[in-house]
Amino acid sequence: MAVTDTDTHMSETCSTCERTTPHDVSVQILTESTKSKNAAFSREPYRVSECRVCGTTTETRMNNA
Ligand SMILES: [Zn+2]
């Protein structure tokens, strides 16, 4: 897994903490396996935010096309 050095601290609402908390935000390229014969693997960028309070991670697919 590629490690980015572009971690940023963002204040976001955490559904677990039920309040706004600092988050570590990074973008990771995650490989998805699909059943498509034309694309055995699909590499999609995900925005990953981790709550610095409780550790809950939220992965949001950036390419929703
Ligand atoms: Zn939290």
Answer with the residue of higher pLDDT: 49 or 4: 49
Please report whether residue 30 resides in a domain: yes
Q: Which domain holds residue 20?
A: 8-61
| Residues 4, 6, 8, 13, Cα dihedral to 10° | -50
The amino acid sitting at 41 is F
At 64, is the pLDDT very low, low, confident or very high (cuts 50, 70, 90)?
Answer: low
Q: How far is the CA of 48 from the centre of ligand 1 (A)?
A: 14
Please report whether residue 52 resides in a domain: yes
Nearest partner of 45 among 58, 28, 57, judged by Cα: 28
The pLDDT value recorded for residue 63 is: 77
* Average pLDDT for 1-6: 53
Q: How far is the CA of 50 from the centre of ligand 1 (A)?
A: 8
Q: How far is the CA of 6 from the centre of ligand 1 (A)?
A: 21
User: Given a cut of 80, is residue 58 above it in pLDDT?
Assistant: yes
Please report whether residue 39 resides in a domain: yes
pLDDT digits (tens, 9 = 90+) for 10-40: 999 999 999 999 999 999 998 877 666 555 6
Tokens at residue 47, please? Answer: 């925005």
Please report whether residue 3 resides in a domain: no
Q: How far is the CA of 53 from the centre of ligand 1 (A)?
A: 5
Total domains, the chain: 1
CA distance 23 to 30: 20
Please report whether residue 2 resides in a domain: no
Q: How far is the CA of 41 from the centre of ligand 1 (A)?
A: 32
**Core vs surface per residue 22-41: b (16+ CB within 10 A) or e:** ebebbeeeeeeeeeeeeeee
